[in-house]
Structure 1
Amino acid sequence: MKFTLKSQLGAFALLFVLFSCEDSGRENPLGAYETGVLILNEGAFGANDGEIFHFDPVSGALKQNVFELENARPFAGLLEDVVEADGRLYLVANTGKVEIVNAGDFKSRGAVVGDLDQPRSLEAVEGKLFISDYGPYDASYNTPDSYVAVVTGLDGGTVKKKIAVSNKPEDLYVSGNFVLVAGSEEGKVELIDARTESVILSLDVKGQPVQFFEKGGDLWLYSFDSEKVYFQSFRMDNFALKSLKEVSLPSATSRMTIGSGNRIYILTSSGWPEYRDAVAIVNFNDNSVTPTWKTGSGFYGIGFDPERQELYVANSKGFQGNGEFVIYSEQGTELRKMEVGRGPSGFSF
């Protein structure tokens, strides 16, 4: 699972401020969930008990099961991503639905249900929703019919079209009227024209592309393979590849976050049978690597609070009951540890 909360990471940050402004200049208090940290708990397969928790880093208060609390019904899905757009939060469940809530109070605004298979992420543009989806498994558990679903209207509804893309699309990124799609299995980035709802360009990229992010005024793509990680930037006038950074980092995963300065934090995992996990730091300037800044087992998500300069690391505890998250200073000091829900996998600040 990936939790980007767009507007970075590629992700959106819920800013630690007290007020927001309308065009009229009047200041309105932010909603209860527009400050602090949102914690995505993916949930366990079969139980479909994914949920959002809210954490206040100042008081230390943790509010559980926010969706159920505010809507008097369980979320009932496996959470894959949460995306912010136009005052809405889109809760993407890879069990085949998207729930839409107000960013401030988490009250339901609508949903996309039916005719989705395994949605992964979402972007809003041109008054439409574009949802990356693995598509159904075939008899060999492959996904040859992956697509980007199109829904008219920002508050959900039915799928009007499925745009065929390369296998296992992950992150999306909007630039003007275009949607970039990271095709993880075939190593492609595809460009969709949101007006015509069609793929107009396909680029081959290094590794398995999973996440777009902005840094230094450029759009970058993070991808990985068994031995290296790759950072590829794009020209925004024609979307051609602009530059490539290759960094040796065996056992990298799809989980990464942008830290302060030139730091990029990446989770690595040896996988079965050792299950040795680590937080690695890549210096984006000189490509140097600290491969084992933190080590452990069960690392499942990562996020960086740019306001407080703190790193959050989620641990699934092997999905044997609830997971936890740990907060570290940039110097590596453990600041706080808290139990959360099942399969914590991402953060929004």
Structure 2
Amino acid sequence: MKLKLNQLLGAFLLSFILFSCSNSDSEQPRGAYEQGILIMNEGNFGTNDGEVYHLDPATQTLKSNVFEAENLRPFAGLLEDMVPAGENLYLVANTGKVEIVDAGTFKSTGAVSGGLDQPRSLEVVGSKLFISDYGPYNASYATPDSYVAVVDGLNGGVVSKKIEVSNKPEDLFAYGKYIFVAGSEEGKVEIIDADKEEVIKVLEVDGHPAQFFESDGRVWLFSTGNDEVYFQSFHMDNFTKATTNALPVANATGRIAFGNDNIFYVVTSTGWPDYIDGVSRVSVLGPELDLDWMSGSGFYGIGYDKSRDELYVANSNGFQGNGTITVYDKEGAEIRSFETGRGPSGFLFY
């Protein structure tokens, strides 16, 4: 997805970590990895070599394999999402685990390593973790047993409950004690009461839900269709749909970057056999700005550094070796490029 980053990947879906203050109201110093940019490298299927890189954009210093360097063991999974919450950073692997690290040091603080199948993203409500999961494949490679897993404890542990949801849940969004679930395959948003640990409402939405975000004081959902993308907002007082804006963006992949001034960047791909990729530059409120803003091949992830007004486009290079990151200014002029890990797919900007 995500990053919840979400990207979503980001962040996907991409957020800041808030730091607690001392009695003198002075801000606690940030850790080494709570500054700059974290790059999520998904890894290659089969070798499960997902990893996180850290970039200092001021000096262009790139540190590779951060998890392994700080914990003296490989991440050993396919990295799907990175979710900051409090002092922790949750690394969601769709190979059946969640690794939890201290956001500042990247030292392991725990894990969820049992009871999961194909986790996609995560949200924290109170002292509980809620993890969207495709569930196992059946004989037809469908996922009829998708769920949101519940874990009691911010530093992981065992799955205490699985809440049944529609097929292929992706992004999650927490609002008070409620969790919105993006049901990508069936076009649904399910709302979970975190206290009751059950679905209390189901909304039918347009397209295939991919990622939630906030803009202009409203909660939005980004969804994809064959020939359109949808930006849908919600009434949060009664959990109903408020507005739907459809834009003629074809072949959207679900990866989106949130720029300044309500301008978003959507990755598109024709897929096999042509694999013509692009980036559409659109406004959440419409009308569209430039549907063919950028073209190329191998586009796999995207993110926007709002503080520097720079767009980061990740290229998988066909998973033949490491990927490449290219940085552009807001007008689309290339600034620089550099090599990163296998399958770069999302970013977290501090």
The TM-score normalised by the length of structure 1 is: 0.96
Q: Partner residue of 2:246?
A: 246
Contact 2:171 2:182 in 1 (8 A): yes
Rounded Cα–Cα distance in structure 2 between residues aligned with 1:161 and 1:78? 24
Rounded Cα–Cα distance in structure 1 between residues aligned with 2:168 and 2:342? 24
**C-alpha displacement of 1:115:** 1.0
Where does 1:306-321 land on structure 2 (aligned, <5 Å)? 306-321=306-321
1:60 aligned to 2:60?
A: yes
Q: Partner residue of 2:155?
A: 155
Rounded Cα–Cα distance in structure 2 between residues aligned with 1:9 and 1:30? 22
Instruction: Give the AA of the match of 1:27.
Output: E
1:348 aligned to 2:321?
A: no
Rounded Cα–Cα distance in structure 2 between residues aligned with 1:87 and 1:104? 8
Q: Partner residue of 1:225?
A: 225
Q: Partner residue of 1:285?
A: 285
Q: Partner residue of 1:256?
A: 256
**C-alpha displacement of 1:333:** 1.1
Instruction: Give the AA of the match of 2:316.
Output: S
2:250 counterpart SS class: coil
Q: Partner residue of 1:10?
A: 13
Contact 1:14 1:35 in 2 (8 A): no
Instruction: Give the AA of the match of 2:113.
Output: V
Rounded Cα–Cα distance in structure 2 between residues aligned with 1:78 and 1:210? 19
* Gap change, CA 1:249 and 1:5, over 3 Å in 2: closer
Q: Partner residue of 2:98?
A: 98
**C-alpha displacement of 1:292:** 1.8
**C-alpha displacement of 1:262:** 2.9
Rounded Cα–Cα distance in structure 2 between residues aligned with 1:54 and 1:102? 15
**C-alpha displacement of 1:253:** 1.1
Q: What number of residue pairs does the alignment pair up?
A: 346
Where does 1:11-90 land on structure 2 (aligned, <5 Å)? 11-13=14-16, 21-22=21-22, 24-90=24-90
Identity across matched positions, percent: 60
Rounded Cα–Cα distance in structure 1 between residues aligned with 2:14 and 2:323? 23
1:67 counterpart SS class: helix
* Gap change, CA 1:297 and 1:55, over 3 Å in 2: same
Rounded Cα–Cα distance in structure 2 between residues aligned with 1:299 and 1:171? 21
Instruction: Give the AA of the match of 1:210.
Output: A
**C-alpha displacement of 1:25:** 1.1
**C-alpha displacement of 1:137:** 0.2
The TM-score normalised by the length of structure 2 is: 0.96
Rounded Cα–Cα distance in structure 1 between residues aligned with 2:215 and 2:105? 31
Rounded Cα–Cα distance in structure 2 between residues aligned with 1:21 and 1:334? 39
1:174 aligned to 2:177?
A: no
1:34 counterpart SS class: coil
1:185 aligned to 2:185?
A: yes
* Gap change, CA 1:236 and 1:70, over 3 Å in 2: same
**C-alpha displacement of 1:331:** 1.2
Contact 2:2 2:13 in 1 (8 A): no
Rounded Cα–Cα distance in structure 2 between residues aligned with 1:124 and 1:308? 29
Rounded Cα–Cα distance in structure 1 between residues aligned with 2:68 and 2:24? 34
Q: Tell me, which stretches of 5 or more residues in structure 1 are unaligned? A: none
Contact 1:118 1:134 in 2 (8 A): yes
When structure 1 is superposed on structure 2, of 215-224 and 1-10 the one drifting more is 1-10
Rounded Cα–Cα distance in structure 2 between residues aligned with 1:122 and 1:315? 25
Between 1 and 2, higher relative CO (CA 8 Å, sep ≥ 6) is seen in 2
Q: Tell me, which stretches of 5 or more residues in structure 2 are unaligned? A: none
Deviation digits for residues 65-89 of structure 1 (CA, Å, limit 9, x no counterpart): 0000000000000000000111100
Instruction: Give the AA of the match of 1:326.
Output: T
**C-alpha displacement of 1:280:** 0.6
Q: Partner residue of 1:115?
A: 115
Instruction: Give the AA of the match of 2:271.
Output: G
Deviation digits for residues 244-285 of structure 1 (CA, Å, limit 9, x no counterpart): 101111111110011111311000001000000001101233
Contact 2:81 2:93 in 1 (8 A): yes
**C-alpha displacement of 1:14:** 5.8
Rounded Cα–Cα distance in structure 2 between residues aligned with 1:97 and 1:75? 10
Rounded Cα–Cα distance in structure 2 between residues aligned with 1:250 and 1:60? 35
